[in-house]
Every structure is written in structure tokens, then in C-alpha cells.
């Protein structure tokens, strides 16, 4: 799954990378501890135009009467996203990309301790995480698609976010026809850096600052 990530690349750089028109309400960065319910930057394609938009991280199904009317949904599983009532319309009609500079995952240490690890792209570019979105009231909300862990992740956690390569962006965004289901797979070996341990300060959703991604002894 993906429960925390970072976005340290400026919005202007993201707009250029994704060839997207930026909105005027984008969350300011950098953010070294993006948490569920935070506003995040999302890439959509609407009417042939890519847009950089702000959304709430935490997908709210259409039948919720309030944002907290059910579980907080931050991830959508690749194996059930097309069949679960919450997501099946969104994965057909409202796919998007969630840019991230890196993400955290946790392994279990002694006595159940949560040990955080940090992942980035090996080429230093922002990650393009596959997402699905839903409008609820006057708010747009998003979930990140996760899949079975691949090389480099499986030893830390059994799931990982779907990281889309540049060539896959048009298909995922609905610009290149049908068949996006084939993209919901783990990253190939070498795409992500070898993860490194970071300090447990990031275990708190109140923690912030660049020190969160500094390596510590494993």
C-alpha cells in the first residue's frame, strides 16, 4: 500500500513534466510527510487537456453522507478496483496521476516496532503514481492504486503503489484508448532506488521537514 509520501518537486516543474495546465489552488510545497486527508497535486486529462489539480487524498464514495461516514480510503487494490462498487466507475472514467518525489513504507522490527524506509526513482524524476478520483459534493478526492510488491519492495512490504512510466501516461489518463488494466503492475527492477531506512520521526503525521528523509543506520 502507500500510506505516506513526499512531494519536493515544485508545482511549476510538475506542470512542465506532465505538460499540464496548473490550477490556482495547488498545495504549496515542499512536503516531506504527505498524509491521508492532506490536499495533494493530481494530474487529470479532461477534454484533451491535462490539468494539475488539487484533491483530497482519501477517496469518498458517492454514497457517503459525510467524509467520515465510512473507512478512510487512501488506496485502491489493482485486483479489485474494477469490481468494487466504490471504484468501478472511477477506474473506467476518472483515472489520474498523483506525482510524488518518493514514498515511505514500513517493516516490522522487534516487539512490533514500525521501521520506516524511503523509496525514490533511480533517475531522480518524480514518480507518477496511478490514481482514481471521485467528486463528492464540491470536493475532489483521490485514491492511489496499489499492487503486489515487486523486486526491491517485497522484502519490506507485500504491496506497493503502481508507478507509471512516461510512455504509459497517455493510456492511464484515457488519452490513448482502452487497455489501461495492463499498467497495474509492480515496477520493474531498477526503476526504484534501493530503499534506505529513515528515522522513526516520520511515524507521526505531525512531523515535517527534510530531516525526515535523511538515512539512518538500518
Catalytic residue flag (residue 2):
yes
Closest to 132 (Cα-Cα) out of 186, 184, 76, 187: 76
User: What gap in Å lies between CA 134 and CA 138, rounded to an integer?
Assistant: 11
Active site residue 12: no
Query: Which of the residues 2, 35, 96, 160 is marked catalytic?
Result: 2
Per the residue annotation, which of 35, 105, 175, 214 is the catalytic one?
105
Q: Which residues contact 50 (CB under 8 A, 6 or more apart)?
A: 18, 19, 20, 21, 43, 44, 173
Q: Which residues are catalytic?
A: 2, 105
Amino acid at each position: 500500500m502507500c500510506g505516506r509520501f513526499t512531494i519536493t518537486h515544485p508545482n511549476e516543474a510538475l506542470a512542465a513534466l506532465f505538460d499540464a495546465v496548473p490550477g490556482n489552488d495547488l498545495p504549496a510545497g515542499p512536503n516531506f510527510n504527505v498524509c491521508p486527508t492532506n490536499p495533494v497535486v493530481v494530474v487529470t486529462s479532461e477534454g484533451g487537456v491535462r490539468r494539475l489539480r488539487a484533491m483530497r487524498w482519501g477517496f469518498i464514495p458517492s454514497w457517503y453522507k459525510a467524509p467520515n461516514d465510512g473507512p478512510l480510503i487512501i488506496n485502491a487494490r489493482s485486483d479489485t478496483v474494477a469490481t468494487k462498487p466504490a471504484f468501478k466507475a472511477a477506474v473506467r472514467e476518472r483515472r489520474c496521476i498523483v506525482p510524488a518525489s518518493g514514498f515511505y513504507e514500513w517493516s516490522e522490527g522487534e516487539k512490533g516496532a514500525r521501521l520506516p524506509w524511503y523509496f525514490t526513482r533511480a533517475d531522480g524524476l518524480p514518480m507518477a503514481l496511478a490514481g482514481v478520483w471521485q467528486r463528492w459534493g464540491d470536493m475532489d478526492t483521490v485514491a492511489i492504486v496499489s499492487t503486489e510488491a515487486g523486486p526491491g519492495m517485497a522484502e519490506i512490504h507485500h504491496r506497493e503503489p503502481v508507478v507509471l512510466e512516461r510512455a504509459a501516461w497517455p493510456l492511464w489518463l484515457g488519452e490513448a484508448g482502452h487497455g489501461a488494466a495492463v499498467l497495474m503492475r509492480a515496477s520493474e527492477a531498477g526503476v526504484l532506488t534501493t530503499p534506505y531506512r529513515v528515522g522513526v520521526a516520520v511515524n507521526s503525521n505531525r512531523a515535517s521537514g527534510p530531516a525526515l528523509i535523511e538515512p539512518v543506520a538500518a
